[in-house]
Structure 1
Amino acid sequence: MKLAVDAMGGDDAPRAVVEGVELARDVRDDIEFILFGDEAQVRPLLKNDHHIKIVQADEVIGMDEEPVRAVKKKRKSSLVLAAKAVKNGDADALVSIGSSGALLVSSLLLVGRIRGVDRPGFTATLPVINDDRGFTMVDAGANADAKVQNIVQYSLLAKYYVENVRGINNPRIGLINNGTEADKGDMIHRKMHDALQELGDKGQINFIGNVESRDLLNGVTDIAVTDGFTGNAVLKSIEGTASSIISMLKSGIKQGGIGSKLGALLLKGTLKKIAKKMDYKKQGGAVLLGLKAPVIKGHGNSDAETMKYCLTNAADVVKSGYVKAITDHFNEHEINPTDEVIKSE
């Protein structure tokens, strides 16, 4: 398979991108990487070009540029050229750690949405305490505002993603809300709940009702659906809390005297497992669900190791057949909440 890689996006581009590509290539011999970027900067960073091709890109879209204007103006940028490669069938997936907004715009304009999907949504796969599988959240930041119809579509997009890519059959789907009761939340969340319940009653999803964000790390659901504003806030809260707890443990051990150090030595293996589980960098980036081809967004501050996981995750999504599965579902079913829900939205 072929992955189109934006070599110039991210805080430490192109170095982190190129090093990550070589790490991914060394563990996956079934991938050809097409790097879009300034060849004068990219090629000297390569140890060798086995399974790696460089395509010259004369422009770069910065993290602070207005996305729509930048994508339309900088048609020779690394991101736009990579998206065009996917559109033209020259690559199977797009990977970038650059501007989220520009990636979203270029994906919509060039890669294109699956028929029946109004707004794609970002996934985030996060760990749970007593399960190595974790849970998947969508939307994690693509759309701050979401209508009932968007949440219904997110539930189906996530269901097929989790089944095909993560191997969880008939995943539990919960709506993030401020309480578990069906009548909790503001008016829009009540309508979202009713629409998802209707889809569940039809047997199209395994809807378990409302879930609270405090229970997500306890494995209350396999999929958490929400609007992009809430999802992004939850995501950053979990990531920030995980990082803070690990830092507090390290600080406490260093400052706690000989007893703390001896205790840490005895618990070294356990502490490493906890740190590994809570390391969001190994989750493989956020997949933009609802497009005609896989698009994966990594953290802008990704290092080479994080970039490697983004690339291998992209390959797994391509190999899974997820896009075909969800496309077939939307072609076979007309997915709409009840007319009453839409009118009162």
Structure 2
Amino acid sequence: MTITISVDVMGGDYGPSKIIPGIKLALVSYLSDNVKKNIRFLLFGDEQAINPYLQDDPLLSKYCTAVHKELSVSNCEKPAQTVRLGVKTSLGAAVKSVANGEAHAVVSCANTGAFMALSKIYIKTFKSISRPAIPAFIPTTKGLALMLDLGANIECSPKMLVQFALMGTIYIKAYLGVKNPTVGILNIGTEDMKGTESVQEAARLFKAHKDINYKGFIEGNKIATGEMDVIVTDGFTGNVALKTLQGTATLITHLLKDAFSNNFFSKIGYFFCKTSLSKAYKIVDKRYYNGAPFLGLRGIAIKSHGDSDAVGVANAIKIAIEMAKNKLPERIEKQLTMDT
């Protein structure tokens, strides 16, 4: 099966200058020869901006086809305005290509609200899902954990949290091969009586659900310990938690760099530690965890950070391809159908 990935190359802070090199990086470093045999990319955007990259690079010209769209979606574009423009924009046309069956997935660095709005209209959600959830992988002391929702839904009903848990369980099984993922609800304490009424009710529903391996509440300071494979929360709390983790990782990175450049002896110490430190820096580098699917859609839409460089874009593309190979939307739909 040939997997087709649509890419909105005009989205985000940098547009084609980072996104197209990200596609090339994915082809060169992230995809096996077997995968590359059956992959192609549709690049939506201004042909005048896209074609120079394809003309100057035999690899890109082999795998990529430009689809001309003059209009693009800015980072501050309101969703309502984006919806009105629809397929006239590179983002709208790229999303529509998935809905039409022309592509298996769409990847964009455009603003989340606009991307989500178009995805809901064109690709649509499953019957039982009112709004998709945004997940992300979090580095932990034991590997990776999955946390959701991270901003798509500011307020969530207990039933929505159950749906997030089911979708997160399927996602981490498919992507990381975790056989029976443990699930926890992010809360202000681990005691049964802690948290809002909504969180309390969600916990009761989780305990009663045969397809959720629920292990209780988890506090923010335990997110990175690897105690839970899937961490479920509302979008407001999840977004704050994620940004706090990213900010803390940036702080630690800066502190270590300052410490090892402090004097001659610390620089000598860095020389002996640099290999291990490089591995540690990579573990907390958000670029390597870039690419968040809108779980709950009937197709695959991957949101890349707006400030993504080539490394970040390549990782988002890798996730899109893995989801297409594993037919994740179909698996989620099957689970949700069984649950209703």
AA aligned to 2:261 is K
- Mapped pair 1:278 → 2:290: no
**Counterpart of 2:235?**
228
Q: CA deviation at 1:4?
A: 0.8
1:290 equivalent to 2:300? Answer no
Q: Which residue of 2 aligns with 1:45?
A: 53
Query: SS in structure 2 opposite 1:21?
Result: helix
Residues of 2 paired with 1:284 and 1:186: CA distance? Answer: 31
Q: Is the 8 A contact 2:123 2:298 kept in 1?
A: yes
Distance of aligned partners of 1:74 and 1:292 in 2 relative to their CA distance in 1, 3 Å threshold: closer
**1:177 lines up with 2:187 in the alignment:** yes
Instruction: Tell me the alpha carbon deviations over residues 64-114 of structure 1, each in whole angstroms, 9 at most, x when there is no partner.
Output: 111123222343100100011000000000100111111100110001112
1:120-135 aligned within 5 A: 120-129=132-141, 131-132=142-143, 134-135=144-145
Query: Post-superposition shift, 1:152?
Result: 0.7
Residues 303-343 of structure 1: CA distance to partner in whole angstroms, max 9, x if unpaired?
11211111011101111122111111222221xxxxxxxxx
Equivalent positions of 1:310-325 (< 5 A) are 310-325=316-331
CA deviation string 1:146-186 (max 9, x = no partner): 11111010000101111112211110000000001111112
Kept after mapping to 1: 8 A contact 2:253/2:281: yes
1:114 aligns with 2:126: yes
CA distance in 2, matches of 1:209, 1:246: 32
CA contact (8 A) 1:174 1:210 kept: yes
How far is the alpha carbon of 1:260 from its aligned partner? 1.6
Task: Tell me whether 1:80 sits opposite 2:86 in the alignment.
Answer: no
Q: Secondary structure at the match of 2:115?
A: helix
Distance in 1 between the 2:230 and 2:339 partners? 21
Residue type at the aligned position of 1:73: L
1:86–1:94 Cα contact (<8 Å) kept: yes
TM-score (norm 1): 0.92
Question: In 1, distance between residues paired with 2:175 and 2:139?
Answer: 16
List aligned pairs for 1:166-245, cutoff 5 A. 166-199=176-209, 203-245=210-252
- Cα separation, 2, equivalents of 1:109 and 1:251: 48
Q: How far 1:40 sits from its partner (Å)?
A: 0.7
The separation in 2 between residues aligned to 1:16 and 1:325, in whole angstroms, is 32
The DSSP-based 3-state class of the residue aligned with 1:91 is coil
Q: Which residue of 2 aligns with 1:141?
A: 151
Equivalent position SS for 1:179 = coil
Pick closer, same or farther for the CA change 1:321–1:75 going to 2, 3 Å: closer
The percentage of counterpart residues that share the same residue type is 32
Conserved 8 A contact 1:33-1:52: yes
Give the alignment partner of residue 93 of structure 1, picking from 105, 113, 125.
105
Given that 2:153 and 2:234 are in contact with CA atoms closer than 8 Å, whether structure 1 keeps it comes out as: yes
- Establish whether residue 327 from structure 1 lines up as the match of residue 329 from structure 2: no
Partner SS state of residue 245, structure 2: helix
Aligned to 1:153: 163
Q: What is the deviation of 1:261?
A: 1.8
Q: Tell me, in whole angstroms, the C-alpha distance in 1 between the residues paired with 2:159 and 2:69.
A: 38
Partner of 2:41: 33
Count of equivalent residues: 328
Aligned with 2:115 (options 77, 96, 103): 103
1:18 maps onto 2:20 in alignment:
yes
In the alignment, what sits opposite 2:68?
A: 56
Match of 1:71 in 2: 83
Inter-partner Cα distance in structure 2 for 1:155 and 1:278: 25
Amino acid at match of 2:323: V
Alpha-carbon offset, residue 285 of structure 1 = 1.2
How far apart are the structure 2 equivalents of 1:157 and 1:117?
Answer: 11
| 1:237-281 deviation per Cα after TM superposition (whole angstroms, max 9, x unaligned) | 1111101100111011112x2222222222222211111111111
Matches of 1:188 and 1:115, distance apart in 2: 23
| TM-score when normalising by structure 2 | 0.94
Name the CA distance, whole Å, in 1 between partners of 2:264 and 2:27: 44
RMSD of aligned residue pairs (Cα, Å): 1.2
**Residues 284 and 312 of structure 1 are in contact (CA less than 8 Å); yes or no, is this contact kept in structure 2?**
no
Cα displacement (A) at 1:117: 1.5
Instruction: Tell me the amino acid that sits aligned with residue 287 of structure 2.
Output: K
> Matched residues in 1 for 2:151 and 2:75: separation?
16
Unpaired runs of 5+ in structure 1? 335-345
The residue type equivalent to 1:13 in the other structure is G
Greater Cα offset, 278-287 or 88-97: 278-287
Q: Which amino acid counterpart does residue 330 of structure 1 have in structure 2?
A: L
